[in-house]
Amino acid sequence: MNVHISYKISKTSDLEKLINQQVEKLGRFLQVFRPELVHVRGVIEENSSRQGIVVSLNLRLPSGQMSSQESSPTAMTAIKAAFDDITEQVKRHKDLLRNQHKWPRRRGASRGVVGTTPFEQTVAVVKPEPISASDITGYVNINLPRLQRFIQRELQYREDQGRLSPNQVSVEEVVDEAIASALGEQNEKPERMKLEPWVHRLARQAIDSLAISSRDEGMVPLDRSHSQQNVQGTDEALLQFHQPDETLVEENVIPDPTANTPEELVARRELLNLIETTLGDAGRDEQEAFILYTVEGFTLEEIADIGNHTVEEVRAAIRRASDHLQRFLPIKDPLKDKLLEYSKSA
């Protein structure tokens, strides 16, 4: 895919990261087209008539062209709205192409079926390949922390509801079971673009199966350690990150000005925990939809696929969660305001 974005406002790392994320999501719906035939052009500029940001997008495909223009007080909201509009146009365009060969053409008093070739059989289409073992391995290697966070939230919710006892099922057990199910032959594998919600759905099923099996056993596992693991290391700050046999090069000691400080990371983690706790009173669907959409970056379609809901149900759950968070978590924090602002684009 050929992408060119023009910035007529100050370019920041957050804007560039959001653009790359939205382009990647849009690309999932364009996999049926050859990449060299897909062109995305965009302009981000200030609104001259009133305060705000205007985002204009143009998408050229082998079978047509579409455009979108959205404005908003913030650049991130305008970017999200413009890409969402283009994505919806792409979906309608693909449905039109799939059914084009079935269109009737009136000839006199009769109607007949036009003998055209379906788009899926033309040279401009790329057949989506099913998920392979290497795809699953690559996804787990890159997104394992994200999957572990999702599993931890699922386990915590079940423990709070009394459906699981503390430490009855561990995150590592669920990860192992989910990956084994994904690599096995008992489950039908979807397209590559649906890999992530499919793995998360398998993780949910793994929690249920492990909870049942551990309840049926009714015995204490003798191989489980009773004592707490000793994870204390040396007091030397250097050896907290480097082992004695490692070679320390100059690039390892260059500070990263864009990285968060340990205090900022702790504050961010505490706020996210507070948000999860507050949303727990709003309902499980609301908590899960809000966290997956604003924090983890899932699309509405992916969240609906994970939880077996419709897109409209997910969108309504996000809005209810946002209203609940504004009422019952009145603290002032830039991260909270940023998440609430992003949730409005759902």
CATH number at residue 60: 3.30.160.100
Residue 91 and residue 6 share a domain: yes
Q: Is the pLDDT of residue 229 over 80?
A: no
Q: Write down the pLDDT at residue 219.
A: 53
- 210 near 177, Cβ under 8 Å? yes
Same domain, yes or no, for 94 and 140?
no
What pLDDT was estimated at residue 118? Answer: 61
**pLDDT of 107 strictly over 60:** no
Determine how β-strand 110-113 pairs with β-strand 53-61.
Answer: unpaired
**Number of domains present in the structure of the chain:** 3
Among 1, 128, 116, residue whose Cα is nearest residue 61: 1
First-to-last C-alpha distance (Å) of the chain: 26
- For residues 269 and 212, membership in a common domain is answered with no
* 310 found inside a domain: yes
211 and 288 in a single domain? The answer is: no
Assigned domain for 196 exists: yes
Amino acid at 198: W
Looking at the domain assignment, is residue 110 inside a domain? no
Residue where a domain terminates, one of 45, 76, 100: 100
Query: Are 76 and 16 contained in the same domain?
Result: yes
**147 within 8 A of 198, measured Cβ to Cβ:** no
Nearest to 156 by CA among 287, 334, 23, 13: 287
Q: Are residues 25 and 84 in the same domain?
A: yes
Which residues does residue 113 pair with via DSSP β-bridges, in sequence order? 104
Residue 52 lies in a domain: yes
User: Within a domain: residue 282?
Assistant: yes
Pair (155, 211) in one structural domain: yes
**Within this chain, do residues 282 and 207 fall inside the same structural domain, yes or no?**
no
Q: Do 275 and 326 fall into the same domain?
A: yes
**Predicted pLDDT at 127:** 62
Q: Which residue has the higher pLDDT, 246 or 194?
A: 194
Q: Evaluate whether residue 323 is within a structural domain.
A: yes
CA distances to 71, 107, 110, 158, 172 from 284, in Å: 33, 56, 55, 10, 23
pLDDT on residue 119: 59
Q: What is the pLDDT of residues 39-87, one digit of tens each?
A: 889 988 887 766 688 889 999 888 888 888 888 888 888 888 889 899 8
Domain encompassing residue 63: 2-100
- Whether 166 maps to a domain, the answer reads yes
What is the reported pLDDT for 320? 92
> For 11-39, how does the pLDDT look when each residue is reduced to its tens digit (9 = 90+)?
888 888 888 888 888 888 888 788 888 88
Helical ranges in 184-230 per DSSP H: 195-217
pLDDT over 80 at 291, yes or no = yes
Q: What is the mean pLDDT of residues 224-232?
A: 51
Give the model confidence (pLDDT) of 184-209 as tens digits. 887 778 777 788 888 898 998 898 88
What was the pLDDT predicted at 247?
65
Shared domain check, 299 and 210: no
pLDDT of residue 255: 72
Within a domain: 295: yes
Same domain, 12 and 81: yes
**Distance (Å, rounded) from C-alpha 74 to C-alpha 173?**
43
